[in-house]
Amino acid sequence: MRDSKNRKHRMADLTQEDWREQLESDPDAVILDVRTDEEMEEGYIPGAIQIDIYRGQGFLDEVEKLDKSKSYYVYCRSGNRSGQACSLMQSKGFERTYNLVGGMLEWDGEVTE
């Protein structure tokens, strides 16, 4: 499913299964957790980097430091904030952002505590 013309500046909402499968087969994958520090303490997906979307401009400043050539697999608690994060990242020139539908509430994969 590579129709890069239509997807170039769009985020993709992926189911838990698709997100995990695509993540595992993507050599450019970066896992991005956009939750708060308190939420991170409850557990996070192994290897995730955290940039709290509630930091507003601070979030955008940190995102700007990321490598735009990578693929970003973004999640939060339920999938709402990560969807917003993907949209913001798209507006900053990131071409491959993937939102985890259902977020950590539905995640049944590995978790680091």
Asked if 76 is an active-site residue, the reply is yes
Catalytic residue among 14, 53, 76, 89: 76
Within 13 Å and on the Cβ side, how many CA atoms surround 15?
2
DSSP E strand boundaries for the chain: 12-14, 29-33, 49-50, 71-75, 97-100
> Tokens in use for 30?
């970066």
Q: Which residues are catalytic?
A: 76
